[in-house]
Structure 1
Amino acid sequence: MRNMWIIAKREYKHYFISPIAYVIMFTILVIVGIVFALNVWQASQPIVMYSPYVPEVSIITGPMLFMFIFSIPALTMRLLADEHRTGTLELLLTAPLRDWELIAGKWLGSLLFVLTLVAISLLYPLILHLLIEPGLDLGVLLTNYLGLILISAALLAIGVGISAMFSNQIAAFFTTLVVLVVLWFLIGAPAEIVPRFSDFFRYIDIRDHFYNSMANGVLNLSDVIFPLTLLALGLFLGTLTIEIRRWR
């Protein structure tokens, strides 16, 4: 466990000397800020025909999660691919370090960076809470951010697992991007085409777990189990890949 934390702290610090990480953080916060401002402006307009519009916390967490689909590949692409390219992976494999500690440490470092970004974004719900009456529902706020963190952690694990398979960062980036796009946009599509298996396809649809449950303040056991399963699969894939490299 100590080795895992050492690796995690090293990776976390590395993000703050990387321009890509700052670009990602700035871009996400600015875009979320624009979406937030537009929704607040819309809510402030005089009502003519429709019922009053009251912004909810999902106007913040929804866009953030969507942008994570495209930014997480950039955050994870170098984690192991770069170690392999520079030859430092071989040095790590000869150190008194378990394979799972290496993978978990890389994943935890990236998760800490994302959690930092998520923590900064809490400024928006705070402002929203002060602007609307009677304020935000604490339960809805918690389930939104729990969903954001769980799904982000799962996607990061997938990115780390894929990064372990490549020595080229660009290849790791695009492979992760394709996998995440499929998970986000396509994997739930057959639910409408094949009604017989609709429950199964909805279960493996990340968007369904977030937008139809957690974003609305509903938390089902499956909403927690599914991202944790993806997380475990991603870390297992990474660990297995490192073990194969070790014994080549």
Structure 2
Amino acid sequence: MLKAKALCAVNGNAAPEIRPLMSVVEAPAPAADIHGNGLHDLIGGMQNIVIESVGSDEKIPEAVGQLAIRMMKNNVLIKDLLHELRQLYIRGQKDFRLSLAGRSDAEKKQIISLFQDMAGFAGNIRYCTEFQSLNGSLVMMPNAQQFLTGQYLELAVYQTIKDVLQELSVKYHAGYEIYRNVRVADIEGKLKNEFDIAFRFNGIWYIVECKSGKCFSDWGSIADIGLTYNVVPNRLLLVDSFISDSWAQQIEYGCQYYVCNLSANTLQEKVTKMVINDLAA
């Protein structure tokens, strides 16, 4: 999860690549609320509950956002490698040797190029022909660990959804807002829930949760959160980088929220379907 303290807001189409909130409207709109008070509609009349904070992109350079998108687009190639790096972080181990045996030459080249571009997160990248391994060292700083163990996916999904909402807002002449890393707490400051992404399109709220780890299986807990905030069925989406298409279908049926992996344009299609369902209602 991202640990940020402020919310920025912009109107119109001149936004940078990564922004925590964007509002797009056809008619003149009131000044944007930089404190994120629009999110209070999400918690409705829940007593003693507050929006503690939302994500800020003030410290996230555009290059980091673009790297996140590249990593998401190459999920099939690198998801198992990232899982290995996650385990190394848990053990406090800096140096890594990732096997690329069984990969095609084209895949190896693509993976090596991507890791070489992870400056600031992983370094000393080199390929060992004898062992068909990608060797290097992890940066053990908190920002680097946070990014490689999940933040990259949250940023990339956020940007992808923002692009979809931008297109839909133009097509349907409707306004939208999108926030990331929304923290909901009680009035004493105790964290109750943390949403990776929350967005409102045409006055309706949706929640998106991102899972980049290999072992998540608590599907019911996400359904419970959806019920609490009245976004299931049809307004809650789980994005899981490891889940299969068949499991996604099963979970959707049993839990009554949307589920997708990162294959092809599945994410864009699921977000579009969620929004279109409400527009057609």
Same fold, TM exceeding 0.5? no
Q: Which has the larger share of strand?
A: 2
Q: TM-score, normalised by structure 1?
A: 0.29
Q: Which has the higher contact order (CA 8 A, sep 6+)?
A: 1
Q: Which has the larger share of helix?
A: 1
Q: TM-score, normalised by structure 2?
A: 0.26
